[in-house]
Amino acid sequence: MTSFTTLGVPARLADVLNTLQFDTPTPIQQATLPDSLAGRDILGRGRTGSGKTLAFLLPLVARLTGGKRARSGAPRALILAPTRELVAQIDEALRPLAQAAKLSSRTVFGGVGQGPQVAALKRGTDIIVACPGRLEDLIEQGHCTLADIEITVLDEADHMADLGFLPSVRRLLGRTPSGGQRMLFSATLDKAIDSLVKQFLTDPRVHQADSVQAPVSTMSHHVLQVARESRLPVLVDLTSAPGRTVVFTRTKYGAKSLAKQLNRNGVPAVELHGNLSQNARTRNLDAFHTGRATALVATDIAARGIHVDDVALVIHADPPVDHKAYLHRSGRTARAGNSGTVVTLSMADQAQEVRQLTRAAGIKPTITKINSTDDPVLGQLAPGTRVIADQAEIAALAAVAPTAQANGASRSGGRSRSGGNSRPAGGSRSDGRARGQGGRRQQDNRRPARAEADGGQPNGSGGRRRRRRSAGSSGNGSNRPEGSGRQRSSSSDGRDGRSRSASPTSSRPHSAAAFSAGRR
């Protein structure tokens, strides 16, 4: 069996990987490490979740180890990434490796004050992980030079192109020494990427570990044809099941609106989109990763670079604009060999668009017309007892994450739903998933307001007490984390996230680390 050491990874770094329980290299790591450790330029393509992060971090750290100390304002290695979240996650994966090699690192991105970044550069930082815009600003201000860069990595290169960053990327790469090693990793290789390769890479070794268009065998795809008025009730039903769920919308307003509506209906949800400040994005992601929020409603900002273990369900509340976005969004689940489910909601006027989308993505989904939230298909797609949070629990989330708002919703007990009259859209269930009857709000004739557009939220399982299934409920063979039914903490309302509540009481340990560098 191939190991990291047989591929040439130094023993010190292999020990770190063993501690982090990364024992077996992924295909992209096996393909690229011999060449990258030898100092060759690399063009690597692998779908999201394939392990690209370690594929470039390991050779970068190994080749910098034992070298000269970084001088003030002149880092030795540069990693460029398109989003602040991805920068933070790369740095998190880098830290234990850099610490073992006695190297320093620093993140550089906008949305936060530049003072700490400038101070770290002035002290001398070996590795910077940066978004292009802020890095160019610091260079223009004279705080940083790329003249000493030995290794340059461009991660998610195709996403850089999609976001219009290529001019900035070209300027930054042009500032690095021509003799340095350069590694470019991307989920897809197209004309925009080819131009970068021709201009900046020297005799690159090309490795394609898998096809971005090939469906993951452990991922099942479904299209639910729903009436407009059933859209939100279906979303509430699916996201109130145990496990992590990511819901995607097309617009920032749609993500914000849907997150609020899920919270009103007892699903602790946070939003993630470009209109949030960096602090708000960090708080919301932290609320999701620690389990205080069980759904993440997001725009395509989370389709790439947001790495979360154990996401069992991805919902396209709004069908994406193209097949590449569909594949990248869907890649939030079924990672590293795990199974997962992808659901696309389609209204009547979207049917042709969705057919074309899935055909272009190489997907043959199961198509089901859903007439009500009593449809047993919903229980098959998201098995387990549905749990609704009470007003105090939603308020507690609002205290630590800007999205959550109780909005006067009257709930008591936050109990699992069983039987018929407390469903978001009314009606009873007959799919074997029991719902607790006590302490539910009266909502016979109060359907939740229709979502303008939907967003995505991973349902966290950590930080919540286990919920016992109601009598008669079925396990349904869920591949979501055991015991991840939701029970929330309570606190006073603080919808700006200005005050922080105490962490929810948990009678079980948090789930495994949310970030998994070896699986990116």
Beta bridge partners of 367: 223
The mean pLDDT value for 412-429 works out to 39
What is the pLDDT, as a whole number, of residue 162?
75
| Confidence band for 23, pLDDT divided at 50, 70 and 90 | confident
The mean pLDDT value for 314-321 works out to 90
What is the pLDDT, as a whole number, of residue 485?
36
Q: What is the pTM of this model?
A: 0.57
Is residue 482 predicted with pLDDT exceeding 80?
no
- Measured on CA atoms in the order 20, 88, 83, 240, is the torsion positive or negative? positive
C-alpha angle with apex 343: 455 to 405, nearest 5 degrees?
A: 30
Burial annotation 301-325 (CB, 10 A radius, 16+ → b, else e):
bbbbbbbbbbbbbbbbbbbbeebbb
What is the pLDDT, as a whole number, of residue 401?
76
The mean of the pLDDT values for the chain is 76
What is the pLDDT, as a whole number, of residue 476?
35
Displacement of CA 437 from its chain's centroid (Å): 34
Percent of the chain with pLDDT over 90: 42
The mean pLDDT value for 240-264 works out to 91
Q: What is the pLDDT of residues 254-304, one digit of tens each?
A: 999 999 999 999 999 999 887 888 788 888 888 888 888 889 998 887 666
Question: Between these two residues, 147 and 403, which has the higher pLDDT value?
Answer: 147
- H helix intervals, 110-186: 115-123, 132-140, 157-162, 166-174
Question: Between these two residues, 330 and 211, which has the higher pLDDT value?
Answer: 330
How many angstroms separate the CA atoms of 10 and 377, rounded?
50
User: In terms of residues, how long is the chain?
Assistant: 520
Give me the domains of the chain, ranges plus CATH numbers.
11-208 (3.40.50.300), 219-472+485-503 (3.40.50.300)
The mean pLDDT value for 438-448 works out to 33
Is residue 41 predicted with pLDDT exceeding 70?
yes
The mean pLDDT value for 139-145 works out to 97
